[in-house]
Structure 1
Amino acid sequence: MKVAIAGRANVGKSTLFNRLVGKRLAIVDDTPGVTRDRREAEARLQDLTFTVVDTAGFEGADEGTLEHRMWAQMGRALDEADVYLFVVDARAGVTPLDEQLADEVRRRGKPVVLVANKAEGRNGEVASLEAYSLGLGDPIAFSAEHGDGLSDLRDALMEAFESVGEPLPEEDEDASKPISVAILGRPNVGKSTLLNQIIGEERMLTGPEAGLTRDSITVDFSRGEQHFRLVDTAGLRRRARVTEALEKASTGDTIRAMKYAEAAIVVLDATMPFEKQDLTILDLVAREGRALVIAFNKWDLVPTPDESIRAAREAVNRLIPQAAGIRVVPVSALSGRGVDKLMATVGDAVERWSTRISTGKLNRWLEMATQRHAPPAVSGRRIKIRYMTQAKSRPPTFIAFCSRPDALPDSYKRYLINSLRETFDMPGVPIRLLLRKGDNPYA
């Protein structure tokens, strides 16, 4: 069952969304119009489980404006939903915009639960009575901030679900877990346009304005037998330029999405790639140990494609040595060129990122690598690497037992990591090599 939260700007829709999902997923701020794209998540209210959709605030707008595009996103959410939570501000009372949106909702003919939010305190219920005039049924006096009125909301939702006549969804235990992929990059490089092109619909709000995306929005997508959970994120600017509290919240949301993802698509503008902020984002993803693919967007604007792609691949290996061999895929988010190849490359990168190497193979490789290039002698004593094992995958993490781990130079560690990457076919995969003092624990 899918429930869309609708209402004008700043009535507390995102606070209600966070209350229902039990996490602070949506960014909340006193500034009107913070939410722009629709965001979905699994919600639980006592014994009810359903999908809840947060939407942009309704505002009257002229065609072609940002507000009009935000209304189009809300309209799609209303079309797809089974039930509506119509939220009004009990303190402010019913406004002409509330009445206009109520007409839109009524025309769709779906069950509506009317929520008079910000109705906490002694006068809350009295303030909520004005919402009767919308003709959407009995209003529920509610406080998303404090959680007042949750039982009444549960009962109203249960009644609405029964009127639709569909059973509550049950989790499919056999469904394969989707690969979580964060789409990252500077503002205005085409991240949202790329996501829309991948899934084949206008799911994300796009336009020439920089910084349209604020919340990290999750969308499920399947390609053949592979299932992905794509996360569109706000553009990351240099920290010194991020001063507003709202942008700080968006940046924190983006970093959190990247840390919880398994893979990352870093989108670069092919007409001006490898700016300082691009390298900062790539380094951040590599240090977090995520499977990484670079999407060179706006490829249709590049005058010399063959020469540019060669230069891009050389630059990646030179500038991001900790994940040498990162796959670079030229794409056009506007036309869709290269999008299929991009998703195939992401699937391949995750497979390599999940590599497991047996202890026997590792130690045969270690013997060969140390014979080809022996560990150096430090202070007249040669360092001995006796044994290696893989501690975990995702990212591949190896532990080497050696005589003097603190004395082994970083240059030799890089040699071992690059040799591992080449021998076991892990291009572009961040590899972690930990050194421990001690003999072979299995001797």
Structure 2
Amino acid sequence: MTFTLAIVGRPNVGKSTLFNRLVGKRLALVDDQPGVTRDLREGEARLGPLRFTVIDTAGLEEATDESLQGRMRKLTERAVEMADACLFLIDARAGVLPTDEVFADILRRKNAHVILAANKSEGRAAEAGLIEAWGLGLGEPLALSAEHGEGMAELAAVLTPIAEEMAERAARVAAEAPETDVSVSDEDDDEAVRKPTRARPLQVAVVGRPNAGKSTLINKLIGEERLLTGPEAGITRDSISLAFDWGDVPTRIFDTAGMRKKAKVQEKLEKLSVADGLRAVKFAEVVIVLLDAAIPFEQQDLRIADLAEREGRAVVVAVNKWDAERHKQEKLSELREAFERLLPQLRGAPLVTISAKTGKGLDRLHAAVMRAHETWNARVSTARLNRWLEGMVSAHPPPAPGGRRIRLRYMTQVKTRPPGFVVMCSHPDKLPESYSRYLINGLRDDFDMPGTPIRLHMRSQAEKNPYKDKKNWGAPSRLRKHLDKPKPKKG
């Protein structure tokens, strides 16, 4: 049985560095600037024999209003209440500050298991801070160095009793729980293998420009205020992944930082945030491109949608803040016309109008995402493809550059996610790009694959000449004997 550990403390004490150390990856952004982390980030940690979930939180600040710092503090306090144990981190080199004393008192009341740790304890400069930490009344402080990995064995020893307690509690709950999800068959068809499961959930990334409403949308989908939101643009910095059941489908959804134009991204921190968002797109299966109804299809929106298509991801375009739109029918017609004109590579992709604030249209968004994922996994039999190819060639034969006719002999699907096809033909290098687009558009229409990226490759299937390397095999049989005889010498 796993347990949950929340890492809390003042800004810039090394919480994200310790989080990365425990999960063994650079998942959280780390920078010398205080206040980099704003949302809650979860990760699967490994510490010796222990396996548990660790939560990286925003730095605790003495703000209780509705400002950005105040909302960050409320989010961190909620994580403390949800977690099974809390690791309170202080800076050993800075010593115990008055704010540390205030937060220690808050943590003592909110969580039964509070572990005190003094980070940056390497070297003699940290000795005074370690001694001061005793005054917080949270027991013996652990001397850690998240940067250098010191003190991890001591941390594992402190967490072991908590892990055992959580395991005993889980065993009692399991004994009282009814038996569910009983397997009745050992046979799985091909469709069932592709369906999302708990072990391999559906991966969805929400991307868009700053302040489009990405975090608000995800909070509405999961049913709780898990992500930090507000009127300020660029609140989200990390790509946060959250697991939930969307309808009855196990789903992991990624909230990403808003992506501005490359020329406007100057700060190092924003560059790291955008790179984190691009990485989330690469790991997703379905990408929701979120637009603002007031300013849809700006240049940056088109670049983001094109990126998702080039990465081979199923794309759903969602237009947010639809509740504030007055002339809905006229606006919707304009959106559809602009979509077909500006993004021809995503022709037929779903365009859904939603309101993340009120929740209107989220059922249509769910249906569009599931349909896009199903199309992304679509497979067509070789027999159907070749019958279809024969009809397409008859209706519109390929050109004959230089008088040399291009023959399309055979077609098959070689992969899914996204669908990929190979056509065996003569002179593939001379087939124009326009004919490939003709075939791709035909595949979309005739096999019901709207919006999903389709990969089509032309390959040469040159017929091997069995007489190529044999001497005189091109001559008639009655002449071969004569040609093979040695010629008599003259004179």
Q: 2:444 is paired with a residue of what secondary structure? A: helix
Query: How far 1:322 moved relative to its partner?
Result: 1.5
Q: In structure 2, what is the equivalent of residue 156 of structure 1?
A: 158
Larger gyration radius, structure 1 or structure 2: 2
State yes or no: 1:183 paired with 2:206: yes
Q: Distance in 1 between matches of 2:294 and 2:9?
A: 40
Query: How far 1:152 moved relative to its partner?
Result: 0.7
Q: In structure 2, what is the equivalent of residue 195 of structure 1?
A: 218
CA contact (8 A) 1:93 1:127 kept: yes
Q: In structure 2, what is the equivalent of residue 403 of structure 1?
A: 426
When structure 1 is superposed on structure 2, of 160-169 and 293-302 the one drifting more is 160-169
Aligned partner letter, 1:277: Q
Aligned partner letter, 1:389: T
Q: 1:50 is paired with a residue of what secondary structure? A: strand
Aligned partner letter, 1:400: V
After TM superposition, the runs of 4+ consecutive aligned structure 1 residues lying more than 6 A away are none
Q: Distance in 1 between matches of 2:376 and 2:322?
A: 27
Aligned partner letter, 1:287: R
Number of residue pairs matched by the alignment: 440
| Structure 1 unaligned regions, length at least 5 | none
Query: How far 1:233 moved relative to its partner?
Result: 0.4
Q: 2:237 is paired with a residue of what secondary structure? A: coil
Query: How far 1:313 moved relative to its partner?
Result: 2.1
Q: 1:379 is paired with a residue of what secondary structure? A: helix
Aligned partner letter, 2:33: T
Q: Distance in 2 between matches of 1:422 and 1:125?
A: 71
Q: Distance in 2 between matches of 1:422 and 1:79?
A: 52
CA contact (8 A) 1:233 1:254 kept: yes
Q: Distance in 1 between matches of 2:67 and 2:226?
A: 17
Q: Map residues 26-175 of structure 1 onto 2, 5 A cutoff.
A: 26-124=28-126, 127-163=129-165, 165-166=168-169, 175=198
Q: Distance in 1 between matches of 2:162 and 2:119?
A: 19
Aligned partner letter, 2:79: A
Q: Distance in 2 between matches of 1:315 and 1:18?
A: 43
Query: How far 1:119 moved relative to its partner?
Result: 0.8
Query: How far 1:364 moved relative to its partner?
Result: 1.1
Q: In structure 2, what is the equivalent of residue 294 of structure 1?
A: 317
CA contact (8 A) 2:208 2:304 kept: yes
Q: Distance in 2 between matches of 1:109 and 1:322?
A: 52
Query: How far 1:122 moved relative to its partner?
Result: 4.6
State yes or no: 1:238 paired with 2:261: yes
Query: How far 1:117 moved relative to its partner?
Result: 0.5
Q: Distance in 2 between matches of 1:340 and 1:440?
A: 54
| TM norm structure 2 | 0.86
Q: 1:306 is paired with a residue of what secondary structure? A: helix
Q: Distance in 1 between matches of 2:239 and 2:169?
A: 30
CA contact (8 A) 1:387 1:440 kept: no
Q: 1:137 is paired with a residue of what secondary structure? A: coil
Q: In structure 1, what is the equivalent of residue 288 of structure 2?
A: 265
Aligned partner letter, 2:70: H
Q: Distance in 1 between matches of 2:74 and 2:387?
A: 60
CA RMSD of aligned residues (A): 2.0
Aligned partner letter, 2:284: A
Q: 2:233 is paired with a residue of what secondary structure? A: coil
Choose which of 361, 367, 370 in structure 2 pairs with 1:344: 367
CA contact (8 A) 1:323 1:428 kept: yes
Q: 2:132 is paired with a residue of what secondary structure? A: helix
Query: How far 1:176 moved relative to its partner?
Result: 5.0
Q: Distance in 1 between matches of 2:201 and 2:337?
A: 32
CA contact (8 A) 1:112 1:160 kept: no
| TM norm structure 1 | 0.96
When structure 1 is superposed on structure 2, of 205-214 and 312-321 the one drifting more is 312-321
Choose which of 237, 252, 257 in structure 2 pairs with 1:214: 237
Q: 2:250 is paired with a residue of what secondary structure? A: strand
Q: Distance in 2 between matches of 1:340 and 1:316?
A: 22
CA contact (8 A) 1:6 1:13 kept: yes
Q: In structure 1, what is the equivalent of residue 251 of structure 2?
A: 228
Q: Distance in 2 between matches of 1:60 and 1:436?
A: 65
Q: Distance in 2 between matches of 1:109 and 1:204?
A: 21
Q: How much identity, in percent, do the aligned residues show?
A: 55
